[in-house]
Structure formats: C-alpha cells, structure tokens
Structure 1
Amino acid sequence: MATLYAKLGVSQDATLEEIKRAYRKAAMKWHPDRNAGHEDAARATFQEIKDAYALLSDENQRKVYDSVYEQEMRRWEALHKRQQEKEAERARKAQAAAQAEYAQMVGVAMRFADEGHNRDVLFGVLLGRNCNADVAQRIADSVWALQESRRAEHDEQTANADPTADADHSSNEADADIAPEPAEQAARSPSQTQAAAARHDKPSHEARAGNLFDSLWQGFFGVRS
C-alpha cells in the first residue's frame, strides 16, 4: 500500500526538513517541463507529489493522516489475515479430499490384485473410476510390483520349506488327540517355523492396503504425517 511518505521517498518518521528536501527533488524530477513527450504522466505524478507535500508539511494534518493510516493498516492486515486463513483452510480440505480419494483408489487396486488380475486390469479399473491417468498408472505399477514381490517371496518360502512339513502337519491333524512332544517341536527346522509364522502373521488386506497407501502417498506427493 503506497503512502504519501513513499511518494516523496521518505520514511514515516522523517523530519519536516527532510520532507522539504525530498519534495524539491521529486518536483524537479517530475515537472512537466522536464519530461518532454511524457507531459501527461509527469503532470499527474507532479500533482500527487504536491498534494503529499501539502499534507505532510502541515503538522496537524500529518498527525491526522498518520492516525487514519495506522487504523487503515490494521484493518487491511486483519482482512489479509482472514483471507490467508480461508485459503489455508481450502487447501487443507482439498488435500484431505485428494488423500481420501487416493486411499480409495489404492484399496480398489489391492482388491483386484488379490483376485489375481494383472497390472493392465488394475490400470483400466482405476481409469474406469475416473482416476487421473498419471495417478492410476503409478498406483497400478506400485500395487502390481508389490503383488509380484509378495508372490515371489511366497514361492521362495515354499521352495525352501522342509518337504516333510506337510506330512507332519497331516499326521498331526489325523491324530489330534495326541499332542506333539516338546522334542518334536524343537526338532522342526527353522524354515518350518518361519513358514508357519508367515501363515499366521500374514497381514490382512485392509492392513496391507493401508501400508501401501501411506508409502505411495508420501512418495508421490511428498506428504509427511
């Protein structure tokens, strides 16, 4: 917000002598006779300088101006602050809505991936739900890569498991009344124990979708909790 002080090129606490010197300098610079070819613009600026000097050179008028200007500045700052708060609130709501929609799309992709559909199907399903093409591609690629990684990990665990594990498991089921001896449990190989733990500790679909959403959202949008 330009002030009368700014028009003369002085600070608000300038002395009367400083205001007079600034006025003489500005008047010489913007006098129409010194601005051939730009008389109209110079004349308008010259008049503004004269008006500013007339007010600021009068002690009483200057006090009134300072008081009114201070009040106006407070009003303007309060208005500006309210506008900033409204814009910040709109931004928060927009981000929350985008995050909710993104989480929903990740959940959809996880569900179709769990059903055995490939990456192209995931991408097509997301597009069919009005998901942005770039976002749909990122989600489909990430979910499919995660699904493939887990499938490979499962295959590796199965390949490394003790081939007698299934036989032992079947035998235990057939003879449910006979509890396994501690020695039998201790004799089981670490791979058997890990495989059994993996079966029992496998995270739910909801938990996996939530974890994937967090990593994708933070990686794609740079969001931090």
Structure 2
Amino acid sequence: MTTLYATLGVPADATLDEIKLAYRRAAMKWHPDRNPGREAESHAAFQQIRDAYAILSDAEQRQVYDDVFEREMRRWEAEHAAQEAEERQAQEQARRVAQDHYEKMVAVAMRYADQGHARDVLFGILLGKDCETELAGRIADSVHALHQSRHACAESQAAAPADACTARTEIPTSPFEAFWQGLFRFR
C-alpha cells in the first residue's frame, strides 16, 4: 500500500518545507506537459501528487490522515498476525497428521516384517494402505533392514553364548592395557 508520504517521496515525519520541496520536484517530473506520449500515465501520477500535497500541506488534514492511517495499520497488522497464526496452526496440524500416518505405516510394516514377509511384500502392503510410493519404499527398506539385523543378531547369539550383538570392544588407552586385555581378555 502506497502512503501519501511515499507518493511525494518524503518520510512520515517530514516538515512542511520538505513536503513543499518534494511536491515541486514530483510535479515537475510528472506534469503532463513534460511527458509527451505518456499523457494518461503522467496525468494520473500528477493528480496523485496534487492530492497528497493537498492533504499533507494542511496540518489538520495531515493529522486526520496520520490517525486514520495508524489505526488502519494496526487493524491490518492484527489481521495479518491472526492470519499467520492460523497458517502456523494449520501447518502444525498437517505435520501432526503426517506424523501419525507415518507412525501407523511403520507399525503396519513392523507387524508384517515380524511375520517374516520380505521387503517387497512390506512395500506392497504399505501401498495398499494408501501410503505414498516414496514413503512406502523408505519405510519398507528401513523396517526390512531392521528386521534382518535383529534376525542376524538372534542367530549369532544362538551360535555364541556371549552377547555378540551388544558387546563393545574397548579401545585400550595405553600399551599396558592393550597387552593386559590381549593376554587375559579382561574387560
């Protein structure tokens, strides 16, 4: 929205002398006689400049304009803030819906993976549950990889009595600790 001050090219706290000077410059620039071939455009601009000067050069009219403009700007800002809050709330709601959908799809994939179904079956089931193709692929890959990892861990635990999947190998901090751990497998 263009203000009367912007029309004349002065700040809102401009003095009367600054307003007069800006009016003269703008009037000279946009006078229809100085813009041959662009008479319609210059006439409209010149009229806006004259109207702005008429209001801003009169102290009472300028005060009324400033009061109304300030009130309208506060109203506009309040409406704008309310609209932004609604948009943020809608975005948050959409994010929650997407998160819920994602969690449901992961749960479905986990249930079928626990039953021993392959990655492609998981993918097909997710597509059948109205899951987006790319998301279904990512979930199917992740759940299948997790299931395979759990399965491999379970097999290695059955083969070796030690906790092979969760055992950590500590890195010795000194040559003596390396020798000690290597000699006695002390942890």
Query: TM-score scaled by structure 2?
Result: 0.85
RMSD of aligned residue pairs (Cα, Å): 1.4
Amino acid corresponding to residue 123 of structure 1 in structure 2: F
Residues in 1 aligned to 2:40 and 2:151: alpha-carbon distance in whole angstroms: 79
Gaps (5+ residues) in structure 1? 162-190, 198-225
Letter in 1 for 2:67: S
SS in 2 for 1:117: coil
Q: Is 1:92–2:75 an aligned residue pair?
A: no
**Which consecutive unaligned segments of at least 5 residues does structure 2 have?**
167-187
Secondary structure at the counterpart of residue 152 of structure 2: helix
Tell me how many residue pairs correspond in the alignment. Answer: 165
- 1:79-99 CA-to-partner distances (Å, cap 9, x unmatched) read 111111111111111111111
Aligned partner of residue 12 in structure 2, secondary structure: coil
For 2:19, give the aligned amino acid: I
Matched, 1:114 2:128: no
Alignment of 1:181-192 (within 5 A): 191=162
Whole-Å separation in 2 of the counterparts to 1:130 and 1:122: 13
Alignment partners' CA distance in 2, 1:79 and 1:71 = 12
Which residue is 1:50 aligned to? 50
The aligned residue for residue 13 of structure 1 is: 13
Structure 1 residue 9: Cα displacement: 0.6
| CA–CA distance in structure 2, aligned partners of residues 39 and 30 of structure 1 | 9
Structure 1 residue ranges, 4+ long, deviating more than 3 angstroms after superposition:
none
Cα distance in 2 for partners of 1:35, 1:146 equals 75
SS at match of 2:13: coil
- In the TM superposition, what whole-angstrom CA distance separates every residue of 1:47-80 from its partner, at most 9, and x where no partner exists? 1011000100001110111111111111111111
Structure 2 letter corresponding to 1:153: C
Counterpart code for 1:87:
E
Does 2:147 match 1:147?
yes
Higher relative contact order, chain-length normalized (CA < 8 Å, sep 6+)? 1
SS in 2 for 1:116: coil
Q: Distance in 2 between matches of 1:73 and 1:84?
A: 16
Q: Does 2:30 align with 1:30?
A: yes
Mapped partners of 1:26, 1:156: distance in 2 = 86
- What letter matches 1:14 in structure 2? A
Q: Percent identity?
A: 59
1:129 and 2:129 are equivalent in the alignment: yes
CA distance in 2, matches of 1:156, 1:62: 86
